Structure 1
Amino acid sequence: MDCLLTHLLIFQSELRVVTERTSPFQIEPARPLAALSAESAPAYCCPGETESISRAVHLSRLAAFYPKCRECPHNTDTGSLAVQLKTVKPARSKPTAPAVEPGELFREEGIRGVYLNVITRTRAEQLTAAFARMLWRESPLIGRRDISPDTRVKTRPVSSAPAPKVVVGYDQRPASPDLVMGVCSRLRLMGCEVINIGLSTKPCFLHTVHHLEGATGILVTGANSATSSIGLDFVGKGAVPWSLPGSLSPLKANWQETASRPRRQSPPQRTFQGFVPYEASLWKHFHALRPLTVAIASPSRLVLRTLDRLFAELPCNLKQTTLPLRHVAQRTGDDLDIRELQKTIATESADFGFLIEEDGMRCQLLDEQGGLLSSEELTLMLAELLLDVRRPVLLNNANNETLIATLRMLGLTVMTNVQTHELTSQQMSANNALLAGGDQGYYWYNNLFPTADAILTLAHVLQMLSRQVKPLSAQRPGSLT
């Protein structure tokens, strides 16, 4: 009996071995469903992305001719799609903005770059966030931390700290509205109070920043650059422009850093009509004028519109010419815009011609014969008109020794090598300067605050010609070279 039982056990074990080797219906142990799906489906990941996608998403992107599928190693796995990817013309991929060095963005008086190639809304938001971070560092959110706090004094909550006020404006370039939307949204995201003044010239913008005490500003503009360029101009408290070197230096060094939100609450955005107080500040300079004929040329419609409102109540006759938008570093007698203005002077028998650049700050003066006055000549004539020996005159360089000697003969103190706009504004405030000029076409005045406004220069030229009957060509000081 024991022998029979032993043979039976040996037979069962041999039968089990044979079954394991030959049976096609072998049952494997149960495994999780996720493990089965992970083994059966390959991992799909689009080029340039880090997260994997499912096969269904992979096939749907193939069917929609997703741009990244052109370079994907899995683009041959089309499943049950009717048409292979390679037999159909794929959609063109969107160009990505190349990496930009700070030197390509930052100029002496602001930020400039070709629209969409260098300056995009995303990059403008990044620059705006860096600017807002610098403003919050000047007024950080710090609560009371007294060692022995006075219980009778109510502690100010951190959320009640005043938010930085930022005035936002833009010029007439086609790319400006796109960038200003990104600037305003990012300022609100960073907890800043946004004051939108809309379309504005640079002098009007600076006046608004000064008018709203304690405010700073960002102007979206492409002035003084190619027609395809756009950029941002930053203004600090007191309407002081940021320049490089100067206040733009820390922004240039830290603009690529990630900026975190200082607080969750976003102040409301409001609008302000900045041209109303700006034009009101100009009225006092247009008085006691003779009935002169003035030929004005400018590529800025905003400047011409402002002059229309100013000259509506004046005895002077205004002849306007709208110029095409062109970037010219230095105007000469052979310039196309100068020739166009000379034709207007001859046709209208104007007493003088006046060309205002796109930014509303830089300008050129022509006499009644069409002769172009140099910037040094106009600087000297303005200094003689506004003569005050107690106040110095600033020049952007010391190259013209004749101009410096002539100003000193008038009893004026001359300060040279005041080049950037930020330094000019600071030096004029510190020294109560009478005038700042030179060979670049900018003329700064202490009108409520230091500003370079071409309309102010026009008002002074009108006063100069109204005081004397002599034409402008007879009042020219001559060559200062």
Structure 2
Amino acid sequence: MEHQRNIDTSILREYDIRGVYDKTFFIEDAYAIGRAFGSLVIRNNGKKVVVSYDGRVSSPDLEAALVDGLKKCGLEVIRIGRGPTPMLYYAATTMEADGAVMVTASHNPKEYNGMKFMLAGKSFFGKQIQELGVQVSKGDVVPEGIGSVRKVDIVDEYVTRLLKDFGVTDRKLKVVWDNSNSAAGEVLTKLVQQLPGEHIILNGTIDGNFPAHSPDPTVPKNLVQLQDEVAARQADIGIAFDGDADRIGVIDDKGNILWGDQLMIVYSRDILPDHQGATIIADVKASQILFEEVKKAGGNPLMWCTGHSLIKAKMAETKALLGGEMSGHIFFADKWYGFDDALYVAIRTLDIVNRLKGPLSEITESLPKAISTPEIRFDCADDRKFSVVQEVAERLKAEKADVVTIDGVRVNTPDGWWLLRASNTQASLVARAESTTGDGLEKLKDALKSQLSASGVELPKI
């Protein structure tokens, strides 16, 4: 059949397509994927697809090949140009597009690139990505048609909508933004021009080489520049983005990092007074404190699988008003569209800080405390990682342990909890443990080590 192409199956990830440009992911792949995904849209009775791309050096060429593949399916292709992934989500939602594709490798190093998809207004992930790969290899596409391509500049409309949920007060905040050389650079510049207060942008230029630091705000060393600038400027808050600006990092006025689950407590307390009983979703890596605080504030906490596509799907199913992950993907369905958007989350964060009587650090320091390990990632072959987790789960079941198995194993004990899961994006296992005491944490780490050891895996020193 037409356009059969054997792509490297390692690029078919759980939530997206991602590989090393010109080693495992090629221009020809982008065309073939466009042809296959476009065929899915057509077979789904769709007509219109929106496309965008991030600031990586390889992104313009990949986007052009993708557009060519989509157009050959007979689709109307709307190119909104370079920008953050959430701007594509916004365009796809407001334009009622039948499909959407973002050329991006998110927070991965500069040599990577990939694609994120939406089909019929929903996340496209998991089995669908695998099936797309099979479709490409078979050349299973619709006959060539006459499509059309047009460019639309949506930046001003998107910025206006972002600003809508910022309530103006007499307080004028001083904010330091670390754009991390991400694809949000141009949007962020326009956004801060219309916000009150003083705004300092670091690494504002879109640069796919990421010269300042890796574009991942969950890694503390990537936030040092922001912490230093917040201190030097005596700013009220610091905000950082990842490479495509769908994940956020937040620093308070004293330089403390607010992790994803701590931010979720702040947002939950803001939303729930007007929406008692609302469902709020967090991933299995989140602190037990978050689930308890949501309950205290009158919400219905729901623990779910890690992964932005999985959380979005569960939010749509449960009509949750808020969702979030430790990775900094935060999803507002309260006043927003339910997708992960670090720019919008930044606006909601500033709106909350704007209304505080004191500094943000008062909130950070008043949050209930637990002692936890960082997220521990360690190598484990793709063909072994899931079976290790399965073996651990079976042993725990035999021991009649208190285990949650929605995504790996999360084990509750009197000392706290520990988690072991297989990464969906890397050849690795992921572990975390949390207790209210140092001794308790050591006991949890010992339990985790012992379970891994029984499966022939060694836990790195933590």
- Of 150, 156, 167, the residue aligned with 1:287 is 167
Structure 2 CA distance for partners of 1:190 and 1:373, relative to 1, 3 Å = same
- Of 62, 67, 86, the residue aligned with 1:203 is 86
How many matched pairs?
Answer: 355
| Structure 2 residue matching 1:205: 3-state secondary structure | helix
Paired position in structure 2 for 1:33: none
Structure 2 CA distance for partners of 1:327 and 1:241, relative to 1, 3 Å = farther
Q: Percent identity?
A: 23
Give the drift of 1:168.
1.3
Matched, 1:479 2:359: no
Structure 2 CA distance for partners of 1:353 and 1:478, relative to 1, 3 Å = farther
Alignment of 1:206-217 (within 5 A): 206-217=89-100
Structure 2 CA distance for partners of 1:405 and 1:233, relative to 1, 3 Å = same
Alignment of 1:52-451 (within 5 A): 100-102=7-9, 104-139=10-45, 164-238=47-121, 240-245=122-127, 247-264=128-145, 266-289=146-169, 290-300=171-181, 302-322=183-203, 324=210, 326-327=213-214, 331-333=218-220, 335=221, 337-387=222-272, 388-397=275-284, 400-446=287-333, 447-451=335-339
Give the drift of 1:328.
6.1
| Structure 2 residue matching 1:450: 3-state secondary structure | coil
Judge conservation of contact 2:6–2:137 (CA < 8 Å) in 1: no
Give the drift of 1:376.
1.4
Judge conservation of contact 1:376–1:480 (CA < 8 Å) in 2: no
Distance (whole Å) between structure 2 residues aligned to residue 468 and residue 307 of structure 1: 24
Matched, 1:467 2:355: yes
| Structure 2 residue matching 1:296: 3-state secondary structure | strand
**Equivalent position amino acid for 1:175 in 2:** S
| Structure 2 residue matching 1:395: 3-state secondary structure | strand
Judge conservation of contact 1:208–1:274 (CA < 8 Å) in 2: yes
Greater Cα shift, 423-432 or 176-185:
423-432
Structure with the bigger percentage of strand: 2
Greater Cα shift, 199-208 or 113-122:
113-122
Distance (whole Å) between structure 1 residues aligned to residue 179 and residue 20 of structure 2: 23
Task: Give TM-score scaled by structure 2 length.
Answer: 0.72
Give the drift of 1:329.
5.7
**Equivalent position amino acid for 2:62 in 1:** L
Give the drift of 1:281.
1.2
Structure 2 CA distance for partners of 1:257 and 1:327, relative to 1, 3 Å = farther
**Equivalent position amino acid for 2:186 in 1:** R
Distance (whole Å) between structure 2 residues aligned to residue 200 and residue 375 of structure 1: 24
Structure 2 CA distance for partners of 1:301 and 1:340, relative to 1, 3 Å = same
Give the drift of 1:260.
4.5
Give the drift of 1:212.
1.2
Structure 2 CA distance for partners of 1:302 and 1:254, relative to 1, 3 Å = closer
**Equivalent position amino acid for 2:157 in 1:** P
Greater Cα shift, 293-302 or 339-348:
293-302
**Equivalent position amino acid for 2:89 in 1:** L
RMSD: 2.2
Deviation digits for residues 171-202 of structure 1, max 9, x if unmatched? 11110111111111111212111111111210
Greater Cα shift, 124-133 or 303-312:
303-312
Structure 2 CA distance for partners of 1:267 and 1:286, relative to 1, 3 Å = same
**Equivalent position amino acid for 1:275 in 2:** V
Determine which structure has more spread, i.e. the larger CA radius of gyration. 1
Distance (whole Å) between structure 2 residues aligned to residue 260 and residue 320 of structure 1: 45
Distance (whole Å) between structure 2 residues aligned to residue 260 and residue 369 of structure 1: 55
Distance (whole Å) between structure 1 residues aligned to residue 86 and residue 27 of structure 2: 25
Paired position in structure 2 for 1:457: 345
Judge conservation of contact 1:243–1:420 (CA < 8 Å) in 2: no
Deviation digits for residues 327-358 of structure 1, max 9, x if unmatched? 4667344x0x3111111112211011111111
Distance (whole Å) between structure 1 residues aligned to residue 137 and residue 107 of structure 2: 25
**Equivalent position amino acid for 1:437 in 2:** G
Deviation digits for residues 223-252 of structure 1, max 9, x if unmatched? 2222101111111122x232224x323213
Task: Give TM-score scaled by structure 1 length.
Answer: 0.69
Judge conservation of contact 1:189–1:261 (CA < 8 Å) in 2: no
Distance (whole Å) between structure 1 residues aligned to residue 288 and residue 347 of structure 2: 28
**Equivalent position amino acid for 1:305 in 2:** E
Deviation digits for residues 256-290 of structure 1, max 9, x if unmatched? 111444354x1221111122321121121222242
Structure 2 CA distance for partners of 1:217 and 1:108, relative to 1, 3 Å = same
Deviation digits for residues 287-309 of structure 1, max 9, x if unmatched? 22420100110224542332332
Deviation digits for residues 383-426 of structure 1, max 9, x if unmatched? 10111223200011166322212211222111112433333223
Judge conservation of contact 1:377–1:479 (CA < 8 Å) in 2: no
